[in-house]
Amino acid sequence: MNPVNQYEIDLRANRIAAIENLGATENQFDSIDLSDNSIVRLEGFPKLPRLQCLHLSNNRINRIARNLEEAIPKLEWLILTNNRLANLQDLDSLSTLPRLRFLSLLDNPVTKQPHYRLYVIARCKKLKMLDFRKVKLTEREEAERMYGAAPEQAAQTTFEPDEELKQAEAAVVAPAAAPPAQQRTGPTPEQITAIKAAIAAASTLEEVRRLEDALKTGHLPSEITVGAEDGTAAAGAAANGGAAAMEEG
């Protein structure tokens, strides 16, 4: 039992690196103290509908997972003093905690961001105390004027490393899955027959070389045509015609 008559479990200074296995508490505590550990992400909660207070001071938290309200819907106090939250968007996921009233982000880099206080007040509509200072009505009005966007929309832009990894993997796989460029195919059997016939009928070494190149690439010279019934005869006729033309010349 803590000083405010809450049932609390003390897990301070246990070198905890990730929030896990809290299901073993069987939802019997109002408060959990995880201060002075090495936690990096605020995530990993089982369903703890009784939990009202989380102490996470002096950790290394730099990311807050989405959908925390599904696991800890009654959370009212969240103490994140002296962590590593740096960007205003890192705080968007807190907007979905329906009962969050007391929040401390002192000694986080994000507190140095312009309009930090107004941004948090706009996102967390039910806040009564931020960084141990009461939220004033004038601040709430100014926050609404500057950051009136729906917090649900803002929360969708929260950075999620797992999701970015999936997107990066998809970007790498996508080019590989694209249909390959059409490759040049070799000559058909009919073309090979026609070119060989033309080589046999060639009268100069230059013509033989040209036809051999055509045999390798599959591109028929314009004088060679492959007939539907007798490709050899067509090629031979073309070659003989070429030879006759050379003799007349």
pLDDT at residue 173 greater than cutoff 90: no
Average pLDDT across the chain, whole number: 80
SS3 labels along the chain: CCCCCCCEEECCCCCCCCCCCHHHHCCCCCEEECCCCCCCEECCCCCCCCCCEEECCCCCCCEECCCHHHCCCCCCEEECCCCCCCCHHHHHHHHHCCCCCEEECCCCHHHHCCCHHHHHHHHCCCCCEECCEECCHHHHHHHHHHCCCCHHHHHCCCCCHHHHHHHHHHHHHHHHHCCCCCCCCCCCHHHHHHHHHHHHHCCCHHHHHHHHHHHHHCCCCCCCCCCCCCHHHHHHHHHHHHHHHHHHC
Q: Which residue has the higher pLDDT, 241 or 112?
A: 112
Assess whether pLDDT exceeds 70 at residue 229: no
- Judge whether residue 66 has pLDDT over 60: yes
pLDDT grade for 148, boundaries at 50, 70 and 90? confident
- Quick one: pLDDT band at residue 168, thresholds 50, 70, 90? low
Q: What percent of the chain has pLDDT over 90?
A: 56
180 or 74, which is more confident: 74
Q: Indicate the pTM of the whole model.
A: 0.61
pLDDT band at 237 (very low <50, low <70, confident <90, very high): very low
Q: Which residue has the higher pLDDT, 109 or 208?
A: 109
Residue 195: what pLDDT? 73
Q: What is the mean pLDDT of residues 128-153?
A: 86
- Does the pLDDT value for residue 169 go beyond 60? no
How would residue 179 be classed by pLDDT, with cut points 50, 70 and 90? low
> What does the pLDDT read at residue 162?
54
> What is the rounded (10 degree) CA torsion for 99, 102, 108, 114?
80
Q: Tell me the percentage of the chain whose pLDDT exceeds 70.
A: 69
Does the pLDDT value for residue 70 go beyond 70? yes
- The pLDDT, as a whole number, for residue 124 is 96
On whether the CB atoms of residues 119 and 113 are closer than 8 A, the answer is: yes
Q: What's the pLDDT at 226?
A: 61
